[in-house]
Amino acid sequence: MAETLYDRDLTCDVLVVGSEGAGGPTAINAARAGLDVLIASKGRMGRCGASQMAGADFNLDGRSAIALGLPGDERDSPERFFEDLVREGFFLGNQRMVEKYVEYAARNTADLLEWGMPVFRFEQVHAEEMARGIITSGVRWVRILRRKAREMGITVLEDTMVVDLLTREGRACGAVALDLRSGEVVLIKARSVVLCTGGWQQAYHFNSAAADLTGDGQAMAFRAGAEMIGMEMVQYIPMTMLWPPLARKSILPYIMMETEVGPLVQLLNGEGERFMQRYDPTTMEQSTKEIVAIASELEVEAGRGSPHGGVFFALKHLTPEGIDFVWGKFVEFLDQNGDKRSEFRKLLPHLLEMAKTEDLEVGNAVHFMVGGIKVDERTRTGVPGLYAAGECSGGLWGSVRVASATTQVGAQGRIAGETCPEYVGSVEHAEPERAQLEAVRERIMAPLERSDGARPIEVLERMYGITDEYLRVIRDGEGLQNAYDELNWLRRDEASRLHVTASRTRRLNREWHLCLELENMLLCLEMSALASLRREESRGGFYRSDFPYTDNDRWCVNAVISNRDGEPSLRLEKPVVTSMQLPSGRMTFEEAVASGTASLRRGEVEQP
């Protein structure tokens, strides 16, 4: 059957889509159970996705840290860690998932330490009161996973984009993939599939993410019948360089804020005010990413922004010696973390000189997707045999990604790798239906075979225009309705007419790949706009200027989206509660922030 439709035909027990922070632990733990595991990676393993770009820090509670030989705080129990995560996520997180996160954070960390992950420091991260973070290198972390996967003999298909999932009688039975180098279309039969594909940041023009994060997993899962949750919750990273052009999109200022000299930095609006005093007077610039991003955008909306649409990252209040001290400490930080990124090294001398005479312009870049594929605490979707781990999944964080994404992907990857063998042992391979195989291949090849239609670069620019205008940090009903209507039209009309305008070759055809990615990004954005339009409040990292308050009586609920005849359909669902009861009442956004960030600390540093 497959020979007449597909160039290659592969079979495995478990197909892991994605090779990095979530995909690596999934594959390793499934292989530990004796299963035949195949990884399909959109890039080269250890060199793609978001994981290798991470700082990175791994979170665990103080008592678990002590058990691993780290200098944790005995007062910091797993229960306290759990409570902080639920509260700081503003109570939308699935509490069973949070419990598993806390438990498996320690287990996954133990694995990584055993496999040789270096530990540079154990310290406070994410503005927490007590030390909970192992500081290491994202590059070294993914190399360790790659080495372990190779040691275990796990097969890896690199430069391979999984385009769609296959189902038989409602359960996952494999996938169809595209070899991005040769153009071959590959059929992969599997008893179970685990999606570890990351977010859809590339749907936004100004982002801090890797180029291959285009919502492939979310879109495939939706088409296969899985539900989405929290798609309106998008995390922005503040203090991303807007100006000068040489440094645009660099997150160097934010990284600096995360170091010990962070408290010496000030954020100023266009009138020279240290505006964080209005929004979070306790932690100021060291508040959460979400709060700083919203505060910065509110200043811009109020006409108090910088010339290029952001705010100012200021060091001029320091003496010249003080600025040298700050930059020196930052270089030490990079050295201690084994960070040799040329981006930072090349920019440092230029920005140092600028900082002595003028303030740097910074803004908000899309950074992390809080929502995604709806899973339970064991990473199971509603489709039997289909699992999702890491950033492509949703339900863990609620409305704010409170702690470490690196911990999330590793913990959920291990959970998925332990859970799917139970299912695989209970089922046989199911033969994909001929009609579905034909439909998927036709969809993949259509952009190459059309002689005219919509040009992908024009659709891409139209999509960026929508996100730039309507899907920013600060949102409102009219803009969201416009975004939803335009995205729905783009997905249903223009995406169905995408065609390759240049070379028709199947080898290394980037325009062809973009056609397939655009379908996924447009679908993710449409679901995000739909959920944003429905949520009539502001909570955590989500802010609507027409509903600038947190309404626990009506909106302490999750937006869940399902596939109804190919169209997104939304319902509201109460969060899963185990031990922390949901709050009631209506608060101003500022009151909600003060309540949600009550456990965070503010550091103080004196310049020399």
Upper half-sphere CA count for residue 554 (Cβ side, 13 Å): 11
pLDDT (0 to 100) of residue 605: 44
- Rounded to the nearest 10 degrees, the angle between the axes of helix 456-470 and helix 477-489 is 170
Asked if residue 158 has pLDDT above 60, the reply is: yes
Sequence-ordered list of residues with C-beta below 8 angstroms from that of 317, at least 6 positions apart, any chain: 266
Identical fold at 235-367 and 449-587?
A: no
Q: How far apart are CA 425 and CA 417, in angstroms?
A: 13
Q: Each residue of 335-351: pLDDT tens digit?
A: 666 555 555 666 777 77
Q: Each residue of 183-230: pLDDT tens digit?
A: 999 999 999 999 999 999 999 999 988 889 999 999 999 999 999 999
Asked if residue 545 has pLDDT above 90, the reply is: yes
Question: What are the backbone angles phi and psi of residue 22, rounded to the nearest 5°?
Answer: -95, -40
Tracing tokens 């930059």 back to the chain, one arrives at: 327
Q: How far apart are CA 413 and CA 390, in angstroms?
A: 7
Q: Each residue of 403-425: pLDDT tens digit?
A: 888 999 999 999 999 999 999 99
25-39, 234-248, 271-285 — which one is most confidently predicted on average? Answer: 25-39
Nearest partner of 109 among 93, 127, 94, 122, judged by Cα: 122
pLDDT (0 to 100) of residue 435: 95
Domain 235-367 has CATH 3.90.700.10: yes
How deeply is 534 buried, as exposed, middle or buried, from its count of CB atoms within 10 A (0-12, 13-18, 19+)?
middle
Nearest partner of 200 among 166, 242, 231, 238, judged by Cα: 231
Average pLDDT rounded to a whole number, residues 478-484: 98
pLDDT (0 to 100) of residue 243: 83
**What tokens does 152 get?**
């275990």
pLDDT (0 to 100) of residue 345: 63
Q: How far apart are CA 528 and CA 542, in angstroms?
A: 12
Question: Could you give the C-alpha distances from 65 to 112, 131, 169, 465, in angstroms and in order?
Answer: 13, 9, 45, 46
For residue 177, the cross-strand partners are 162, 186
For residue 197, give the H/E element and its range: none
| Parallel, antiparallel or unpaired: strands 386-388 and 185-195 | parallel
365 and 208 Cβ atoms separated by less than 8 Å: yes
pLDDT (0 to 100) of residue 288: 78
For residue 185, give the H/E element and its range: strand 185-195
pLDDT (0 to 100) of residue 50: 64
424 and 193 Cβ atoms separated by less than 8 Å: no
For residue 549, the cross-strand partners are 588
Sequence-ordered list of residues with C-beta below 8 angstroms from that of 582, at least 6 positions apart, any chain: 91, 552, 556, 574, 575
| Parallel, antiparallel or unpaired: strands 185-195 and 171-179 | antiparallel
User: In the structure, what pLDDT confidence band is assigned to residue 572 with cuts at 50, 70 and 90?
Assistant: very high
Can you give the residue ranges of every domain in the chain?
A: 235-367, 449-587
User: In the structure, what pLDDT confidence band is assigned to residue 462 with cuts at 50, 70 and 90?
Assistant: very high
Q: Each residue of 31-76: pLDDT tens digit?
A: 999 999 999 999 888 777 666 656 678 899 999 999 999 999 999 9
User: In the structure, what pLDDT confidence band is assigned to residue 249 with cuts at 50, 70 and 90?
Assistant: confident
Which spans in 425-556 are helix H? 434-449, 456-470, 477-489, 510-534, 552-555
Q: Name the amino acid, one letter, at 130.
A: M
Say how many residues make up the chain.
608
For residue 191, give the H/E element and its range: strand 185-195
Q: Which residue has the higher pLDDT, 121 or 461?
A: 461
Asked if residue 290 has pLDDT above 60, the reply is: yes
Q: What is the 3-state composition of the chain as percent helix, strand, coil, each rounded to the nearest 5? A: 40, 20, 40
Residue 206 DSSP symbol: S
**What mean pLDDT value characterizes the chain?**
90
Upper half-sphere CA count for residue 460 (Cβ side, 13 Å): 14
Q: Name the amino acid, one letter, at 337.
A: N
Q: How far apart are CA 323 and CA 484, in angstroms?
A: 46
pLDDT (0 to 100) of residue 607: 47
Asked if residue 277 has pLDDT above 80, the reply is: yes
Average pLDDT rounded to a whole number, residues 247-258: 81
Question: Could you give the C-alpha distances from 541 to 21, 313, 361, 367, in angstroms and in order?
Answer: 24, 21, 22, 12
How deeply is 435 buried, as exposed, middle or buried, from its count of CB atoms within 10 A (0-12, 13-18, 19+)?
exposed
Asked if residue 490 has pLDDT above 90, the reply is: yes
Q: How far apart are CA 176 and CA 104, in angstroms?
A: 31
* Torsion of Cα atoms, 135 then 138 then 144 then 146, to 10°: 160
Q: What angle do CA 150, 152, 156 make, to 5 degrees?
A: 45
For residue 160, the cross-strand partners are 179
pLDDT (0 to 100) of residue 247: 80
Sequence-ordered list of residues with C-beta below 8 angstroms from that of 470, at least 6 positions apart, any chain: 479, 480, 482, 483, 529
Sequence-ordered list of residues with C-beta below 8 angstroms from that of 84, at least 6 positions apart, any chain: 128, 402, 599
pLDDT (0 to 100) of residue 298: 92
Asked if residue 564 has pLDDT above 90, the reply is: yes
Average pLDDT rounded to a whole number, residues 456-479: 96
Domain 449-587 has CATH 1.10.10.10: no
Provide the whole-model pTM: 0.93
Q: Each residue of 354-382: pLDDT tens digit?
A: 777 788 899 999 999 999 999 999 999 99
Sequence-ordered list of residues with C-beta below 8 angstroms from that of 384, at least 6 positions apart, any chain: 170, 171, 172, 423
Sequence-ordered list of residues with C-beta below 8 angstroms from that of 223, at least 6 positions apart, any chain: 164, 165, 563, 566
Q: How far apart are CA 91 and CA 86, in angstroms?
A: 5
Upper half-sphere CA count for residue 355 (Cβ side, 13 Å): 26
